[in-house]
A and B are shown apart, each in its own frame.
Chain A
Amino acid sequence: MAAVSFSHITKRFPGAIALSNVSFEVRAGSCHAVCGENGAGKSTLGKILAGLQKPDDGEILLDGRPVRFDDPRDALAAGVAMVHQELAFCENMTVGENLCLGQLPRRFGFVQRDMVRRRAVELLAAIGASIDPARSMGTLTVAEQQLVQIAGAVGAAAKVIVFDEPTSSLGRDDAERLFSLIGQLQARGVTIIYVSHRMMEIHRLCDEITVLRDGQHVATRPAGELDEAALIQLMIGRRIEQYFPTYVGEEHGEERLRVEGLACLSSFADVSFTLHSGEVLGLAGLIGAGRSEIARSIFGLEPATRGLVWVGGTRAEIRSARDAVRLHIGFVPEDRKKQGLVLSMRTGENSTLPTLPLFARFGWIDKAKEISVIRHLFERLRMRAAPDAVTGGLSGGNQQKIVMAKWLAADCDILILDEPTRGVDVGAKAELHAWIDELASHGCAVLLISSELPELINLSTRILVLRNGRMVREVSRADATQDGLLRLMTGLEPATTN
């Protein structure tokens, strides 16, 4: 008997298809893993089930009956709860209030505090957790916050609980505790959907595995039938032939950037590498491995707490993005809407933002010069938008081109690209890839972060693999395979020092 069946679920985001015609069933009382690479659509599927997002097409059947959730409350009422990756709470309120939110016990409009407390203690005790309900949610550890979420789900008599990457920010002990709790829940007849890409956990906990790739359903098999190698094969598929790199960077151009022993609080430590002119250095790792943090640190946004940086062979103290820009470093950040663009400004204005003083005399913008530069940039990037279009209205691909244009105008020596093709349509992606090649072949040193392994393998001269904020291994272009990288990223293959 299927507790949940997904039937032809399709979900589109602007510029990208997150899920395409996904159908599979989850057996009642099972622990069902949903796995795939970053961006395969796993989390979206979980969110659709929990009522956080609505599918554009297809339907969900719960115990054989079609259901449609408009918000998480609907889902909870139907017995579906989700334990989130990004924990969603009112951090300013207490544990008790969070647990009772939605049905706060009240009399004449006043919250009955003792009732809140009693109910919260009950809920927490039901999963064997002892957290003081009076504590403020913001003071809890991630593990404790998770327990509160689980307590809420169980308290609402959830029959299906979705766990979205639950161990991504847990230590080993907390993860163990979570696993045993999941076991207990399963014993009580709760159906678990476990979204993860961590092999060890999946094999330890789950009876069945569904693999998604690029938003498509690849397979649903009993866990016993899929060993790790087979699972990885299913997750990555065969996509290498999509890319035809035209330029392979020289490893030994002149040194452009060297970092030694770079560390920043808890996000990464002991990061050392050298980046040469004409080279594309890839950074591989799972979300949270410290890739973006390293990029932001080099660019002066979150200055490193330890370590030394050399730019063009000279020691550099980069304390702000302005320092970095002055050293001819460019940065295409991972979140173009929040970090890359001023959406309320025109596209042309965005593209000259870091370089505006170059088109100005005594603070006065030389409009003719600026416009000619913008025209030129737009033609080179084959922008399909006018320079006076409002940036917020553009497609993801065009927006990403504007972010690229900012740094092309700056004529950077070093360009850091953080997920440069995320959420970009296929055509624009190919153009962006061509640009990265082009930049490197003209001597720019590129540091490329990407969760798409084929992209990383085909564009990079060398790839540094990171795990939990540490460098695991450097892989040369010739030796890089998706399988090998994924094993290093997930920790299936132990770290070695080079």
Chain B
Amino acid sequence: MCPAPAMVRPAIWLVLSAPPSLTSLAPRAIVAHADLLSFSPPHNVTSATTWTLPVRRAAGTVLKSQQIGIIAVLIALGVALTFAAGSHVDVLSGARTNNFLNVYTLVQMGTDASSFAIMGVGATIVIIAGGIDLSVGAIYALAGVGMAMVLRMVGPMGPVATVSVGLATCLGIALVCGLANGFMVIGLGVHPFIVTLGTMWVLRGIAFVVSHAESVLVPSALTSVAKARLGLSADLYPVPVLVMLLVAAIGQVYLSRTVSGRYVFAIGGNPEASRYSGLRVDRIKLGVYAISGLSAGIAAFLGASFYGSATSSDANGYELYVIAAAVVGGASLIGGKGSAISATLGAILIVMIRQAIRTLHLDQNYEWIIIGSALILAVVLDQGGTRLLARRMAAAPPPPVRDTSTSASEVP
């Protein structure tokens, strides 16, 4: 039943009539009226208590962050491997070295993970927007082959020019491929799974035809960039790992701090409501496929430069590892959920599981079985954790709200 509205109304009016006019709702005006907020005693109390406990708040942020689960798994697996791997005597230095926890293995793992992780960030953005991109492996191959062939055609140049032309070609090809995916997804009304499955074969086919299935060497200028030691000892190549971290950081900032990143979450969560809010859903979709293509281009540039050649069979089957990395990182295939850092961690986890098989001298034939099982397990655990968190949040008491109605309605 309705409570007596006469009681409710004055209370509402007290609240409503506080700011001078409704026009103050314009964002700029609100900032100007921000001092009004300080009139509320309960509000001040809550902010004071939170500020006095910065440590607790920071701890809460870490515990509540999306990455906590996967970080825990990575650490647990790392510790277990360190103990189980055993050690050997290093030939050069004569010191005992752990078979897993040594700088060479770790950097090697990082290098292996870098291509999955870089493309995984792109894939995560597509998946958050409610799409899927199966063509990243093929884009990688075409961009790599295209770059190598263009550089071979152009002929010898200075190292800076070679790297610039190479990078521009590689990223350009990848961007065009990504845009092509995007235009087809929004223009043809075909499910992105089908569109990118198609382009996956088409693009790899183009790479195959133009390169005559040959391996094309890339100039050494590129290799010296990708294998730059940056002051580290011989046989340590940190560039792929650094690029991976950089891409993860850029992806994370893009998703959390930019307008278009926010829109990606919105159209993935509810395209209809996004349209009703005046968002240009198609343009955002186009953008995410372009980003995904571009991420494949970055990975291709690094990969072809690092290994010194490109062929049409490069990155064959990587698309599935990439999607697995995104999903292990907590991205939801129905859209609206995911994180760039988590996808990077997901890629590292997958590579670490592969590494575990080698370090522990398990039968390599079981690699697929183990990775497949781990993928399913990771997602099940993630979903269980999400449900648990949701239940805990539902059980928690509602946040304090300044409720002027109770005090006001008592005034006759």
Residues of A near any B CB (own CB < 8 A): 242-244, 246, 299, 301, 320-322, 324-326, 331, 333, 338-345, 349, 353-360, 363-365, 367, 369, 372-373, 375-377, 379-380, 382-386, 389-390, 393, 406, 408-409, 411, 426-427, 430-431, 434-435, 438-439, 442-444
B26 within 8 A of A: yes
In the assembled complex, the Cα of A384 lies from the Cα of B405 at a distance in Å of 12
Within 8 A of A (CB), among B12-54: 12-13, 15-16, 19, 21-23, 25-27, 30-31, 33-34, 37, 40
Set A339, A354, A367, A431: member contacting B278, Cβ < 8 A: A354
Q: Is the CB of A430 within 8 A of B9?
A: yes
Is there contact, CB below 8 Å, between B276 and A380? no
> With A353-B279, A409-B25 as given contacts, are A339 and B272 in contact (CB-CB < 8 Å)?
yes
15 contacts between A and B (CB under 8 A): A321-B277, A338-B272, A344-B268, A344-B270, A345-B265, A363-B258, A363-B260, A375-B37, A379-B15, A382-B12, A384-B398, A385-B399, A409-B25, A435-B16, A443-B22
B361: chain A residues at CB < 8 Å are none
Q: Given A339-B273, A393-B393, verify A384-B401 contact (CB < 8 Å).
A: yes
Q: How far is the CB of A236 from chain B (nearest CB, A)?
A: 15
A443 partner residues in chain B, CB cutoff 8 A? 22
Flag if B2 contacts A380 (CB, 8 Å). Answer: no
What 1/0 mask marks residues of chain B from 221 to 262 whose CB sits below 8 Å from any chain A CB?
000000000000000000000000000000000000111101
Which residues of chain A have C-beta atoms less than 8 A from B22's C-beta? 438-439, 442-444
Whether B3 lies near A357 (C-beta < 8 A) is no
For B95, the chain A residues whose CB sits under 8 A away are none
List chain A residues, Cβ under 8 A from B3.
426-427, 430
Contact of B37 among A367, A379, A411 (CB under 8 A): A379
Q: Looking at the complex, which one of A244, A341, A355, A360 makes contact with B273 (CB distance below 8 Å)?
A: A341
**Given that A339-B273, A384-B401, A430-B9 are known contacts, is A360 also in contact with B259, CB under 8 Å in the complex?**
yes
Known: A353-B266, A373-B30. A393 touches B259 (CB 8 A): no
Q: How far, in Å, is A349 (CB) from chain B's closest CB?
A: 6
List B residues at the A interface (Cβ < 8 Å).
1-3, 5-6, 8-9, 12-13, 15-16, 19, 21-23, 25-27, 30-31, 33-34, 37, 40, 257-260, 262-263, 265-266, 268-270, 272-280, 336-337, 390, 393-394, 398-399, 401-405
CB-based contact A372/B34 at 8 Å: yes
Partner of A242, one of B2, B27, B270: B2
* Distance of B233 from chain A, by nearest CB (Å): 40
Q: How far is the CA of A127 from the CA of B21 in the complex (A)?
A: 65
With A338-B270, A382-B403 known to touch, is A411 a contact of B275 (CB < 8 Å)?
A: no
Report how far A242 CA is from B16 CA in the complex, Å: 21
The answer to whether B27 and A344 have CB atoms under 8 Å apart is no
CB atoms of A301 and B34 under 8 A apart: no
The answer to whether B276 touches A244 (Cβ under 8 A) is: no
Residues of A within 8 A of B277 (CB): 321, 325, 353-354, 406
**B265, A342: Cβ atoms closer than 8 Å:** yes
List the 6 closest pairs (A to B, CB-CB), nearest first.
A325-B278, A442-B22, A342-B269, A344-B336, A344-B269, A354-B277
Alpha-carbon separation in the docked complex, A333 to B275 (Å): 12
Q: Are B269 and A343 in contact (CB under 8 A)?
A: yes
Please state if A345 and B269 are interface contacts (CB–CB under 8 Å). Answer: yes
Q: How far is the CB of A113 from chain B (nearest CB, A)?
A: 31
B412 → chain A closest CB, angstroms: 17
CA distance A320 to B398 in the complex (A): 38
Residues in B with CB closer than 8 Å to A360 are 258-259
Contact of A430 among B8, B258, B262, B336 (CB under 8 A): B8
Bound Cα distance A163, B8 (Å)? 41
**Nearest CB to that of B17 among chain A residues?**
A438
Taking A244-B9, A322-B278, A409-B27 as given, write out 10 further A-B residue pairs in contact, using a Cβ cutoff of 8 Å, ordered by the A residue number. A246-B13, A325-B277, A342-B266, A345-B265, A353-B277, A376-B37, A393-B393, A411-B26, A431-B12, A439-B22
Decide: B273 and A340 in contact? CB cutoff 8 A. Answer: yes
Instruction: Compute how far the CA of A340 lies from the CA of B199 in the bound complex, rounded to whole angstroms.
Output: 35
> With A and B bound together, what is the CA distance between A299 and B275 in angstroms?
11
Is A382's CB under 8 angstroms from B259's CB?
A: no
Other-chain contact of B23, A364, A376, A384, A442 (Cβ < 8 Å):
A442
Least CB separation from A435: chain B residue: B16
Contact indicator A365/B16 (Cβ below 8 Å): no
Interface contact B259-A331, CB-CB below 8 Å: no
Hey, which chain A residues are within 8 Å of B13, CB to CB?
246, 434
Most B-side CB within 10 Å, residue of A339, A376, A426, A444 = A376
Q: Which of A243, A326, A369, A434 has the largest count of B CB atoms less than 10 A from its CB?
A: A434
Residues of A within 8 A of B279 (CB): 321-322, 353-354
Report whether A386 and B265 are in contact in the complex, using a CB–CB cutoff of 8 Å: no
Within 8 Å CB of B401, what residues of A? 382-384
Contacts of A324 in B (CB 8 A): 278
Q: Give the distance in Å from the alpha carbon of A301 to the alpha carbon of B13 in the complex.
A: 34
- Please give me the residue from chain B that is nearest to A340 by CB atom: B273
Q: Give the CA-CA distance A221 to B212 in the complex, in Å.
A: 86
> Are B270 and A341 touching (Cβ within 8 A)?
yes
Contact between B8 and A345 (Cβ–Cβ < 8 Å)?
A: no
Residue of A nearest to B26 (CB): A411
Chain B residue at minimum C-beta to C-beta distance from A239:
B2
Alpha-carbon distance between A367 and B262 when the two chains are bound, in angstroms: 12
Q: Which single member of A358, A365, A382 contacts B405 (CB below 8 Å)?
A: A382
Q: Could you tell me if A358 and B336 are in contact, using CB atoms closer than 8 angstroms?
A: no
* Set of chain A residues within 8 Å of B15, measured between Cβ atoms: 379-380, 382
- Given contacts A342-B265, A342-B336, A409-B25, is CB(A386)–CB(B273) below 8 Å? no
Given A354-B277, A385-B399, A345-B23 contact (CB < 8 Å): no
Q: Which A residues are CB-close (under 8 A) to B272? A: 338-339
Closest chain A CB from B346 CB (angstroms): 20
B9: which A residues are within 8 A, CB to CB? 244, 246, 430, 434
Given the contacts A342-B269, A376-B33, A349 and B262 also touching, CB distance less than 8 Å: yes
Residue of B nearest to A442 (CB): B22
Are A411's CB and B270's CB within 8 A? Answer: no
Cβ-defined contact, A372 with B30, below 8 A: yes
List chain B residues, Cβ under 8 A from A385.
398-399
- Give Cα A434 to B34, complex, Å: 23
User: How long is the Cα–Cα vector from A443 to B23 in the complex, in angstroms?
Assistant: 9
Is B276 within 8 A of A333, CB to CB? yes
Among residues of B, the one whose C-beta sits closest to the C-beta of A429 is B2
Shortest Cβ distance from residue B199 to the other chain A in the assembled complex, whole angstroms: 28
In the complex, which residues of chain B have a beta carbon less than 8 angstroms from the beta carbon of A393?
390, 393-394
Whether the pair B5, A243 counts as a contact (CB closer than 8 A) is yes
A342–B2 touching, CB < 8 Å: no
Contact B274 A342, beta carbon cutoff 8 Å: yes
* A343 and B33 contact, CB distance less than 8 A: no
Q: A242: nearest residue on chain B (CB-CB)?
A: B2
Instruction: Give the CA-CA distance A299 to B337 in the complex, in Å.
Output: 29
Asked if A380 and B19 sit within 8 Å, CB to CB, the answer is yes
Distance of B232 from chain A, by nearest CB (Å): 34
Contacts of B336 in A (CB 8 A): 342, 344-345
* Cα distance A363–B263 in the bound complex, in angstroms: 11
Instruction: State whether A430 touches B259 (Cβ < 8 A).
Output: no
Expressed in whole angstroms, the minimum distance between the Cβ of A16 and any Cβ of chain B is 13
Considering the chains assembled together, what is the distance between the CA atoms of A363 and B262 in angstroms?
10
Residues from chain B with a CB closer than 8 A to the CB of A384 are: 398, 401
B49, chain A: closest CB distance, angstroms: 15
**Which residue of chain B lies nearest to A332 when distances are taken between CB atoms in the complex?**
B276
Are A349 and B34 interface neighbours, CB within 8 A? no
Q: How far is the CA of A408 from the CA of B262 in the complex (A)?
A: 20
How distant is the Cα of A322 from the Cα of B274 in the complex, in angstroms?
Answer: 10
Shortest Cβ distance from residue B195 to the other chain A in the assembled complex, whole angstroms: 23
Q: How far is the CA of A333 from the CA of B2 in the complex (A)?
A: 25
Residues of B near A426 (CB, < 8 A) are 1-3
Which residue of B has the minimal Cβ distance to A324?
B278
Say whether A408 contacts B34, CB under 8 Å.
no
- Interchain CB contact (< 8 A) of A379 among B27, B274, B280, B402: B402
Please measure, in the bound complex, the distance between the C-alpha atom of A442 and the C-alpha atom of B25, giving whole angstroms: 11
- Residues A365 and B337 in contact, CB atoms below 8 Å apart: no
* Nearest residue, chain A, Cβ from B1: A426
Of B1, B27, B257, B276, which contacts A358 at CB under 8 A? B27
